[in-house]
Amino acid sequence: MTPGDGPAWDRAALVSSPLLATVRPLVERLPAERFPSLDELNALARERGLRSGSGAPITFVPSAPGKRGAFDAQYEVRIFRDGAVPTRAESWHDLFNALAWLTFPRTKATLNRLHHEEMLRRRGEVQRGTARDLLTLFDEGGVIAACADPSLPALLAGFRWKELFWARRAEVVESMRFKVFGHAIHEKALAPYKGVTAKTLVVDVERDTLALPDEALTARLDDRAAAHFAAPGALESTRSLHPLPILGVPGWTPENEDVGFYDDPGVFRSGRSREKKEAP
């Protein structure tokens, strides 16, 4: 959505949406009657001590076109070097990106650092490469799935949606938590449709971790996701992130209280729809 597109600002509606639960604590601190200003977002950034991948203090700045092709003007480079995150006024997409920085500061900084490293390594090459493709997929469309039952992730990875979300629904509710990371998924949650699909990072956790207060759990998963992406080999294949039709998650739409919801093969596919050659 471009600035001015999408629904009018309605904080009460945002707070009540289960698809926006990950950023709810921050949304509750935003103005009730209007889009937040950059000054308000920057106050939260200072409060939380946000830093870029290089350690530069994060500031949300007005979006302005850079010199075409100039390395220093590129989006991730500006963030890494200066901490400047271009943020358009009244843009849902950019607002949710800011909320992702505020909610997952360690992971966002790690992704930024890894983008910058890859850009330097591949400077002058035409193709972005698999590593940056994976980083972008997760940044835009990622979900972190915390799981305390080792038998459930295989069902997600194997596209066994009905078995996971219906036959073993009670176990999913008890043993899994889904945290939306990607700002594009949050934007789509403003007007969700059945085919919205995220890219999932599964994180194994102890049951005690799932019992943490919600914001503490989010912070714990932020640490775990940052460590995952920084580990050797984490960026070798985009297939390490499992597709997830988000409206299949129990509680995220009343429609999935009917078993027939999971019988739509166009959404709940039995496998990847096509093979995609990884970029070199």
Structure tokens at 61: 């700045």
- Dihedral of CA atoms 254, 259, 261, 264 in degrees, nearest 10, equals 170
- What is the pTM for the complete model shown? 0.92
**What whole-number distance in Å separates Cα of residue 200 and Cα of residue 182?**
10
Query: Is residue 121 within 8 Å of 130, Cβ to Cβ?
Result: no
Amino acid identity at 126: V
If pLDDT is split at 50, 70 and 90, which confidence band does 279 have? very low
- Name the percent of the chain lying above pLDDT 70: 91
Question: In this predicted model, what pLDDT tens digit does every residue of 22-45 receive, in sequence order?
Answer: 999 999 999 999 999 999 999 999
**Range list of H helices, 176-242:** 183-188, 207-210, 214-230
Q: Are strands 59-61 and 84-86 parallel, antiparallel or unpaired?
A: parallel
Distances (CA, A) of 55 to 82, 88, 105, 131: 9, 23, 11, 22
**What whole-number distance in Å separates Cα of residue 31 and Cα of residue 37?**
9
pLDDT at 68 over 60: no
pLDDT at 112 over 50: yes
What pLDDT shows up at residue 69? 59
What pLDDT shows up at residue 128? 80
Q: Are strands 176-180 and 142-147 parallel, antiparallel or unpaired?
A: antiparallel
For residue 38, give the 3-state DSSP assignment.
Answer: helix
pLDDT at 276 over 60: no
**What whole-number distance in Å separates Cα of residue 26 and Cα of residue 24?**
5
If pLDDT is split at 50, 70 and 90, which confidence band does 4 have? low
Answer with the residue of higher pLDDT: 269 or 171. 171
Query: In which element (H, E) is residue 14 found?
Result: helix 11-16
